[in-house]
Structure 1
């Protein structure tokens, strides 16, 4: 059975959307079964599909079959008057939909969101490096560069595996609990640091 042009385009749009949703679901499957975790997917898919349809329609890539001539005239007139706005709006909808699907964050749809407090900044990194380097330099004065490298590695691992808010919350815990958390995070950095220290010390003998 040969499909007409409209059906083919419709199938392509649905296939693209389903493929994108499946890929995002596999890579970023929500941990908690909360409706908030699925809102970015719901809004994202809606904006993406609506934007894609508007894009194809406004750029005249897709020409649907109208039930009446009046409908076609109405759409054509609308495209003539609001064509540029329609095109820009469709691109915005596609980008916003993709943003929700790829970088989905359920907190963006919660009241009193802590999203901004969860994101690391360059200032945060510089501040952490200064604190850690200052604290460890006094313990190992023989290997200043290795200390810098170790602290840089540790801060990178912390920022990679924890959000800013998680770090703040964990930092408020008792020292023993803090150590248990951070030791596992910077374990690889500590191993590399110790190996390099041993290597330098052996060469100096």
Structure 2
């Protein structure tokens, strides 16, 4: 939540590069926090509600502000994106077993942040990508739980690669890596990230 608020501050200060970096850190930190919570079995109702608020702040509002609010189209799309993220959280709260319903907000945020870094904040490309992410978040398809740190070793390597690149490589290279990672989850959820879980749910 703190990183999300910092990203919002950076967006209002017109420091989109810093705002995007905060979101990429949040994307990776979110996975680690969820894995730690499950491992220590410290889940609670208040914790779940706080998590939803943090997800909305960071992966909803802060991500939408990467689009900017200068023009009418950008402002309208920002409102639509925030609304989509809110509805997506409502779908998640219904408790679908083994899978998420609709694209998780964190992956949509990662795509936007990576695109912003790679295109240097190109408004047209960001709007196109945001529109696509809105459709995926509102889609009724199922996406497997991304319990990367509690899954196969190669997934842990993917995660550690993101951590290492985030802090020790150029941001453009890190953004490209995270973009490929997120797109592989979006377009090949069953084949790469949890085929068995989705098959149990559907059949």
Give the TM bin, normalised by the shorter chain.
under 0.3
The TM-score, its normalising length taken from structure 1, stands at 0.26
Larger Rg: 1
Normalised by the size of structure 2, how large is the TM-score? 0.26
> Which of structures 1 and 2 has the larger relative contact order (alpha carbons within 8 angstroms, sep 6+)?
2
